[in-house]
Amino acid sequence: MPRRPLRTAALAAVGIVVGWSALAETVRIGVIAPFSGPFARYGEQFQQAVETYVALNGDDPGGHQVEWLWRDSGGPDPGRAKALARELIVSDGVDYLAGFTFTPNAMAVAPLITQAEIPTVIFNAATSTITEASPFFVRASHTLAQLAAPAARHAHGEGARKVVTAVTDYAPGHNAEEAFTAAFEAEGGEVLDRIRMPLKTTDFAPFVQRIKDSGADAVFVFLPVGPPTFAFVKAYNDNALADAGITFYGTGETDETTLEALGDAALGLTTLYHYSAAHDSPENAAFQAKLAELHPGAIANFMSVGAYDGAHLLWTMIEAAGGSDPEAAIEAVEGLEWTSPRGPLKLDPETRHVTQNVYVRRVERDAETGRLVNREVETLPDQPDWGLVGD
């Protein structure tokens, strides 16, 4: 008897016959993430975080042996992600998939995992609609709406009435802009201008000047981590927007991997985000201590914590269902509550996405280490994915 009638039927439909019986003892997890190219660091961070989780929690959940298969997706490349997922499912016989840095890559595998019934844990890809694309998706990271909507309410609560949004002109930027605008207008505020900046922009001075001339009292910003963020923050400072009374509200712009390069220019910036490496809790301390022990010099940030909590979801599913019962695996994590390095988490059974605290952070220089940190100054508890819950 085949162990998985549905999955086997699906595979038979594409004309491939695989003997499953040989895999009875070992649970296999295929991870699709970038390990080469400009985003290679993300895959490396996934791997480091997973190793850290395994070192702290044991390598045999529920007595099962776990085998990890790491596959390189390169950058945003849905075709390659889909091909890798197919190969992992069909040839390697994985029981779970995980990883996914970019939304298009996650979207591309949705039909496959639905057909083959492979529970798939998203470590990062942050577009709300992903978890709607397949009932076998669960997500351990964040969504842009989950951050942008609380950012809008917080900005309004702090007295902002007229804002400009400035986002990078690509899908995540649009998501962030729409969620922020909707929430801010619902609070009674006014969005004066919605600026979408080309992905290739290197000089942000004209945009910053436009924000300055708009008469806004705050600007909401979303840019991809790396050079664009760096250049925008420089332009914000060079043009003295803070002195002109325009408060900066961002999300991940002050990410731990970019923060030191930003230097003093970042001091005082306000961002709303779900994880700060400076989060003060025993769980975070244990995570960072182990990470530093295994990988000296590794930086803990949203990528690593997404993979760390993703590993927790995988371990919970394997403990409950081994590798043979995908439905039971998903059920085992729906409504699951635990304390992560970032704070309390709950996997919302409706959206299969984590409900979590969003922290208001301010960049300051740590007195002890002399390094820049995102200091949490306020906690907005239990934020669901406003992209799916709100409408």
Partner 1 sequence: MSILLAILVDGVAYGMILFLISVGLSVTMGLMRVINLAHGGFALIGGALAHLALIRLGLPWAVAAGLGVLGTVAVAVVLERAFYRHIYGRPELEQVLATVGLAFLMIASVNLALGSSLLALPAPEWMRGSVDLGVRTLPVHRVVVLAAGAAIALALWALVERSRFGIRLRAAVDDARAASALGIDTGRVYAAAFALGAGLAALGGILGAELLPIEAYYPLRYLVLFLFVVAVGGMGSIAGSLAAALALGVLDTAARYLVPDFGTIFFYLGTMAILAVRPRGLLGRA
Residue 194: CB atoms within 10 A of its CB come to 16
Q: Which stretch binds partner 1 (CB under 8 A): 1-9, 119-127, 189-197, 362-370?
A: 189-197
- Which of residues 5, 111, 206, 245 is near partner 1 by CB under 8 A? 206
CB 70 within 8 Å of CB 34: no
Count CA atoms closer than 13 A to 391's CA, side-chain side.
11
Q: Which stretch binds partner 1 (CB under 8 A): 177-185, 222-230, 321-329, 355-363?
A: 222-230
What is the DSSP code (8-state) at residue 134?
Answer: -
Q: What are the CA-CA distances from residue 118 to residues 121, 310, 325 (Å)?
A: 10, 15, 9
Q: Is 133 in the site for partner 1 (CB under 8 A)?
A: no
Instruction: Name the residue among 92, 47, 154, 35 with its Cα closest to residue 323.
Output: 92
- Which of residues 9, 16, 240, 377 is near partner 1 by CB under 8 A? 240
- Which of residues 72, 158, 169, 187 is near partner 1 by CB under 8 A? 169
- Which of residues 75, 135, 226, 390 is near partner 1 by CB under 8 A? 226
Q: Is 366 in the site for partner 1 (CB under 8 A)?
A: no
Q: What are the CA-CA distances from residue 311 to residues 140, 288, 306 (Å)?
A: 9, 16, 9
| Closest approach of partner 1 to the CB of residue 226, in Å | 7
291 SS3 class: helix
Q: Is 239 in the site for partner 1 (CB under 8 A)?
A: yes
Residue among 190 and 264 whose Cβ is closer to partner 1 = 264
| Closest approach of partner 1 to the CB of residue 353, in Å | 28
Q: Is 258 in the site for partner 1 (CB under 8 A)?
A: yes
- Which of residues 100, 230, 236, 308 is near partner 1 by CB under 8 A? 230
Q: Total residues at the site for partner 1 (CB under 8 A)?
A: 34
d(CA 385, CA 143) in angstroms, rounded, equals 6
Residue among 234 and 362 whose Cβ is closer to partner 1 = 234
Q: Which stretch binds partner 1 (CB under 8 A): 131-139, 259-267, 280-288, 313-321?
A: 259-267
Q: Which stretch binds partner 1 (CB under 8 A): 34-42, 92-100, 325-333, 346-354?
A: 34-42
Encode burial over 318-356: b for 16+ CB neighbours within 10 A, e otherwise: bebbbbebbeebbebbeebeeebbbbbbebbeebbbbbb
d(CA 153, CA 102) in angstroms, rounded, equals 27
Q: What are the CA-CA distances from residue 314 to residues 62, 99, 139, 264 (Å)?
A: 11, 11, 11, 40
d(CA 223, CA 25) in angstroms, rounded, equals 45
- Which of residues 86, 161, 162, 234 is near partner 1 by CB under 8 A? 234
Q: Is 260 in the site for partner 1 (CB under 8 A)?
A: yes
Q: What are the CA-CA distances from residue 41 to residues 44, 46, 301, 326 (Å)?
A: 5, 9, 12, 31
Q: Is 210 in the site for partner 1 (CB under 8 A)?
A: yes
Q: Is 205 in the site for partner 1 (CB under 8 A)?
A: yes
Q: Is 92 in the site for partner 1 (CB under 8 A)?
A: no
| Closest approach of partner 1 to the CB of residue 101, in Å | 14
Which residues are at the interface with partner 1 (CB under 8 A)?
Answer: 38, 40-41, 169, 195-198, 200-203, 205-207, 209-210, 226-227, 230-231, 234, 238-240, 257-258, 260-264, 297, 299
